[in-house]
Amino acid sequence: MLDVARVREDFPLLKTGIVYLDSVATSLTPRQVVEAMDRYYAEYRANVGRGIYELARRASEAYEEARRAVAKFINAEGRGEVVMVKNTTEAINLVAHSLKWRKGDKVVTTLLEHHSNYLPWLKCAQRYGVKVEVVRPSREGFLDLGEVERVVDDNTRLVAVTHVSNVLGVVTPVKEIAEIAHEHGALMLVDGAQSVPHFRVDVSRLKCDFLAFSGHKMCGPTGSGGLFIGREAWSELDPVFIGGGTVEEVDVGSFALLSGPARFEAGTPMIAEAIGLRAAVEYLERLGMDSVEEHERRLGRRLHEGLAELPGVEVYGPEPRYKLGITSFNVEGLDPHEVAMILDASRIAVRSGMHCAQPLIKRVLGLARGTVRASVYLYNTEEDVERLLSAVEELARSVGRHS
């Protein structure tokens, strides 16, 4: 089990007394990550892959060590390449606009998706004539594998599915969906923004061709993230951005791209951010991802069940055993933003609104104004959850008295 009291010492922001329950949007950053980035700026600030002097060599080595650490974290070593990106959104768009689309290609996705794994495919439909088909989940967020099998056919070029819903917390059967995709010769992209930070993710077990994730949701800095590209999918891509750092050779009227992941990292990359992401990965590994998951599921269960027991509160999504520590809810008679503002006055930070998932919230949940969303992470405590439950209970009771 996590020593949460010890963990909290690494997060200076928690000393302000805030109850931070918005880690699904962005996690807090431990001091070890900040210190690693500070060392780069203070001790060996130089560009990577550009020079042979000591500082440049040291910076280049640190950058590539970060790539190797991230690859190891998702068990990608020897299975493909990891491209360093700014976030999940950039990673998915990189795939969307680097794939060599063919006439008649189809993309299959779902209504569970964050906009970052939905809008790029609509853009591909506009720009390249790609057909997009969407699988509708149940109100609890479950995907019907029979429906997936019906929609995925031999014209399907790519299946793009979230691993964990950022609204409902439901864990999707991405391995089984990948098997369906591969039966038809399609590629499989997994949006791991809400899975990689919270439990052990192994790209070999998922059988995915692409895995996209963000550093800022896993104790890392903003502007950091990764895109895993499997070996079999490598030849399917033609980089959308090229320039400095992406080429082996340039001549008048011709060029040859590098063979490794740098071919997708045009220009000066996010060096300090990559170094910070490595520190975050190592921090999570020291804690143990199994312990992180167990802690989060325990708190998430209490959060979901506690809210579901309150009169005047509606909770969305499946029962706790099918999801992580994400719970969306509404208080009868109050707009989600009103609830979030009132909780903020008590130093409780939650998210409110559409959560960049409007099709899910409007078409599946049938809500016009969104939800309130609370999410727990490795530094949250039972006391944090109880403070939220008490505040929401009082709020719902107050609304009931005045209605």
Distance CA 89, CA 193 (A): 9
User: Burial level of 126, CB count in 10 A (0-12/13-18/19+)?
Assistant: exposed
Give the three-class secondary structure for 25. Answer: coil
Query: Largest Cα–Cα distance of the chain, in whole Å?
Result: 77
Question: Which of 124, 208, 219, 356 is an active site residue?
Answer: 356
For the beta sheet containing 351-353, the strands, ordered from the edge strand earlier in sequence to the opposite edge, are 313-316, 326-331, 371-375, 351-353
Q: Judge whether 356 counts as a catalytic residue.
A: yes
Give the three-class secondary structure for 388. Answer: helix
Distance CA 80, CA 69 (A): 14
Residue whose structure tokens are 């190797």: 68
Q: List CB contacts of 394: < 8 A, sequence separation 6 or more.
A: none
Residue 181 has which token pair? 């995709």
Outline where DSSP puts E strands in 22-141: 80-85, 106-110, 131-135
Residue 251 has which token pair? 């001549």
Catalytic residues: 356
